[in-house]
Amino acid sequence: MAGSINLASVVVLTCNGREHLEECLESLKNQSYKALEVILVINGSNDGSAKFVRERFGDSVRIIELPENIGYTGGNNIGLRAARGEYLALLNDDTRLHPDWLKNMVEALARRSDYGMAACKILSYYQPEIIDNVGHIIYRDGTFRGRGRLEEDRGQYDREEEVLSPSGCAFLVRREALDKVGLLDDDFFIYGEDADLSLRVRLAGWKVIYVPSSIVYHKYSATTGAYSPFKAFLVERNRLWLTIKNFPPGALLLAPVFAALRMIYQVYGVLAGKGAAGEFARQYSPLELLGILIKAHLAALVGAPMMWRKRLEINHMKKASNREFYGWLKRFKLSAKELALKE
């Protein structure tokens, strides 16, 4: 089997997620790819997760306990630094895996030296005929969204093909690529960090392959919640930071124009009760939403000089041209209407 001698490390991050761990770790234990180490990073939990996993899985799972929650990025980076594999996977704890999930991604990367990351087919845990996502697509303001989200899985995404970015829920990356571009951006905390990493990997010269035979069943937002002021704040702030770090000059200058168009659709979504904005408005007031957006933009502005310094570092290792980047925006595009009005 291609790549069978290469160790793969899977980092599972959990924060008070004991209820999910048995099924997730059991499905890792049953993976057909046996050159595997499992690292569980317990991100400030107080639910007895460590004791449970030690008793249930013994030495088959390496446990790293952190005294406090340092975010999705911080916790996963701790796990990635401890990992020994040539291939490194991140996996949400609220998942169940097909037995060939890891093997099929490793083999896909082993066949393609110019690909640095692999995305998988992520299906709804509760409705396995419904797609969670099959990679990500992008809107011109820097917002990413799951490709195929909430579509019925009719086999329309059953071909291996290039995608823009994998979902942070479950993906594989070459160690060589991480060594080149660095780990997840700790300043993001959570949300958008997967897209940021993918763009850095792409800018460094690699591509991303989607592997439909690598299947994950995901309890969407089981650990973070589908809609919350904290999530809305981070999504918007991190979107702005992602554009500052990665977008070519022309796209960066135009991003606010596209963001304004998206917000017009979102205002309609609030009024019509459609999309994420409409759902948010059912739980919180429009004024709260406006306040969150203002705070997110102020926070992004405060962090802009730091992100600009990171942009300069990215430019030093950059191999992809600005023209290629514009090609990605066109090939993997997401419309403002779909982004704003589709849940």
Per-residue model confidence as pLDDT tens digits over 55-87 = 999 999 999 999 999 999 999 999 999 999 999
* Banded pLDDT at 212 (limits 50, 70, 90): very high
Higher-confidence position of 78 and 229: 78
pLDDT band at 104 (very low <50, low <70, confident <90, very high): very high
Q: For residues 247 and 143, give the distance between their C-alpha atoms in angstroms, rounded to a whole number.
A: 12
Residue type, 180: K
254: left (phi over 0), alpha (psi -120 to 50) or beta: alpha
Looking at per-residue confidence, does 228 or 148 come out higher?
148
SS3 call for 202 = helix
Q: Are 137 and 164 in contact (CB under 8 A)?
A: yes
Confidence band for 275, pLDDT divided at 50, 70 and 90: confident
Report which of residues 123 and 280 the model is more confident about.
Answer: 123
Residue 23 has pLDDT above 70, yes or no: yes
Confidence of residue 288 (pLDDT cuts 50, 70, 90): confident
Residue 183 carries which DSSP code?
S
pTM: 0.94
DSSP 243-262: HHHHS-HHHHHHHHHHHHHH
Q: Inform me whether the pLDDT recorded for 206 exceeds 60.
A: yes
Q: Residue range 286-297: average pLDDT? A: 91
Q: Which residue(s) pair with 207 in the sheet?
A: 115
Residue 38: the pLDDT is 98
pLDDT in tens, 115-174: 999 999 999 999 999 999 999 999 999 999 999 999 999 999 999 999 999 999 999 999
